[in-house]
Amino acid sequence: MDLHDDAALIIIDVQQGFDDPVWGERNTPDAEANIGRLVAAWSDASRPIVLVRHDSVSPGSPLAAGSPGNALKPVVADAPHELFVTKHVNSAFYGEPDLGAWLEARGIRQLVICGIQTNMCVETTARMAGNLGYDVTVPLDATHTFDLDGPGGIRLTADELAGATAVNLAGGGFAVVLTTDEVIGAA
């Protein structure tokens, strides 16, 4: 991996509300620690960091704006950052302020995307970034998700969903999927 000096670290929805038991079983117990390692590496290299927060508009959501669960987790709450995006949908490209315009104005073309949930907001943002022509990397062990029920009684574990995200992103040409160690090794 050739990491550019201006590669942006996009940290998606690392919020207190994801510790609520309503979400169920999660994977990647070291995700937050790996996110913290990425923040440190980006800070040390003076690379840009973007924080993204999901301000849910769903009644009763643990991520509802103004609720304690809406707050960022300590690992990123005080992280130095150049941009703070709030959103109501899965993709950080549909937030405020406009992430795409901010990246474009700075000529940033390489993104490393991490955070919560792997198969939801991380994958959606990475897919969209890939479609927009960005060079995208996702350190999968710096993300986590939860077991999920689907139609017809289908239930996938968090690990199965993360594996599907890795296949979708890499196999679909949206992103390179690596580990935190591999990304930091390139920093």
Mean pLDDT of all residues in 164-179? 98
Mean pLDDT of all residues in 115-134? 98
Q: How confident is the model at residue 127 (pLDDT cuts 50, 70, 90)?
A: very high
Could you give the C-alpha distances from 18 to 60, 126, 156, in angstroms and in order? Answer: 13, 20, 18
Could you tell me the maximum CA-CA distance found in the chain, to the nearest angstrom? 48
pLDDT at 122: 98
pLDDT at 1: 82
> Model pTM?
0.97
- Please give the sequence-ordered ranges of beta strands (E in DSSP) within the chain, or none if there are none: 8-12, 49-54, 83-87, 110-116, 135-139, 143-144, 148-149, 155-156, 176-178
Which one, of 94, 152, 162, 114, lies nearest residue 13 by Cα? 114
pLDDT at 187: 74
Mean pLDDT of all residues in 34-44? 98
Asked whether residue 102 carries a pLDDT value surpassing 90, the answer given is yes
pLDDT at 64: 96
